[in-house]
Chain A
Amino acid sequence: MSSDNSESTLSDYGIYKISEKHEFTLPDIEIKIERIGEHVFSYIRKDAEDNILKKIIPITSSDLTIELCPIRPLNYPAHRTNHVYLDFESPIFLSKDSAATVFVRCPIEVGIFLVHDGHKDSLDWFTCDPLNSRFCLYGTPESGTLCKYMNSEIVESYDDSIPFQNAVLKIDIKNELSRGVTVSKIVFPITGNSIYYKNSKAIVDSLTATFKKKLTLEIIDVDSIMIQTDWIKSPTYEQSESIKHMDMGVD
């Protein structure tokens, strides 16, 4: 995709080559990228509360190439965990020795990557659904796992994601126990799952969840499975808070 038209509005994920100016309008977010010098662009993001983020991007080529894509929902409000807790709106009941495949909504964030010389560097990231981007605790306060929380709806297919707010995740659930089970939530580290996009829809690598008995314990085994798809794979970005020792005061 390329654009010189200042009036153009974003409706899709993808790679954009910007020569002069481009404006993206996402849910509650406005992004404006424009040339301010021969080899310099400015990047301005404004959210619903009128918070403004501005960055200057010096480039070596004549055009600016960026990729707008879904990323894992681990950065907002801060990167504190790699786990996601999907709380199903409607719990699923599986009778003994049965299996089911469900599609559920999974949260995402949006990433903007600067594409140059075959590299994709994270320029910015944000969430279009800040009110639903919250943490929760799975387990006890003493030894539980901090997770990103989402009240997740069960949907029909991969096409049912809400643009820029969530993706669809397929879960194959199998019950190998000798009794029926009710599944009301699933907790998993999302760092093992890639995200793919097509137009404004997004999907996540699928999961398999198997209820089984190990000796006397009943356990649930959750694994990530890479999906085969023609959708475009998103680059990944997770904010890291490494301590920097600055000798020259550059941050």
Chain B
Amino acid sequence: MAFEFLQSLADIEITGGLTLLSLFIGGIIMGVGIIIARTIRLLFTKYYAPKLPQDTAKNFGKLIYFGIIILSFLVFTSTTGVDFSGLLVAGGIFGVIIGFATQSVVSNLISGIFLMIEKPVKQGDKIEIPGSDVTGTLLDISTFSVRVRRFDGTIIRVPNESFFTSNIRSLSSTPVRRSEAIVGIAYKEDIDGAISVIEKQIRKSMAFVLTLPKPEFRISALADSSVNIEILVWHPRDDWDQVGPTLLKVAKNALDGAGIEIPFPQRVIWQAKE
């Protein structure tokens, strides 16, 4: 009965040697291929992925999955005995049209592959793309885009091509980072005295500022109204939020405490003799 049913399917030809039976067998092959691909990806994710870096594991998972599916499709085409040469010619012309239309998609794909090979940054790194508003933690590098979680909690998606061709500033590739702030004092004030009180206050109230290298103080400008002191302090790379946003506050409190004037913009006008 079943044999007769299959025989009847084999007799129904859809197009150029492709029968309903071969399509049925192809469907089974593809179905089995997908099941095998999912099972192997699941086993890989469970047993081997934890031993690999997160992004490598993810890419390997995808490679295994789509590799098995492509293999299944090749087995399907070879078992059906269908002549795809006509389709290839048509596909070639169609491919050129699609190629022009999907230029950016392909470009993103190729950039994604190069990003995965070059690995300028890795998942979990804190990064900044200078000149854009992209600053945050790298969530993943996928086939077409990169996802970054910004420090305000939102997630931004950057196309791979744009990410690959940008300058990328890694904020977490070294053990320490430096933060800077500029504070101005009045011209009449003692510069060394001001530096000394700021240094003492930093040491007292900023637990994440490194003792070595010592905080550095530079006179950045003899500006219109003030002598500008640039403060440079080092801190562990993950503790910028404990230092960067509070450095100016600490400096101002120190100067206020010591009675050192932070001047407002001012202009001296000399009246000409009549």
Binding site for B on A (CB under 8 A): 76-78, 80, 85, 87, 130-131, 133-138, 141-146, 149
Contact = CB atoms under 8 A, between A and B. Distances in A.
B204 A134 contact: no
A77 B174 contact: no
A136 B212 contact: yes
Contact of B208 (A77, A138, A144): A77
Given A80-B238, A133-B207, A149 B175 contact: no
A146 B175 contact: yes
Nearest to B177: A141
Contact of B234 (A130, A137, A142): A137
Q: Which 3 A-B pairs have the closest CB atoms?
A: A136-B212, A77-B207, A149-B211
Given A136-B212, A137-B212, A145 B204 contact: no
Contacts of A135: 208, 210-211, 235-236
Contacts of B236: 78, 80, 135, 146
Contacts of A131: 203-204
Contacts, number: 54
Interface residues of B, number: 19
A108 B251 CA distance: 30
A143 B236 CA distance: 13
Contacts of B208: 77-78, 135
Interface in B170-213: 174-176, 178, 203-204, 207-213
23 contacts: A77-B208, A78-B236, A80-B238, A80-B239, A85-B212, A133-B207, A134-B203, A134-B207, A135-B208, A136-B210, A136-B212, A137-B175, A137-B213, A137-B234, A138-B212, A141-B213, A141-B234, A142-B174, A143-B174, A143-B175, A144-B175, A146-B175, A149-B210
A78 B204 CA distance: 16
Nearest to A78: B239
Nearest to A148: B211
A137 B176 contact: yes
A166 B77 CA distance: 76
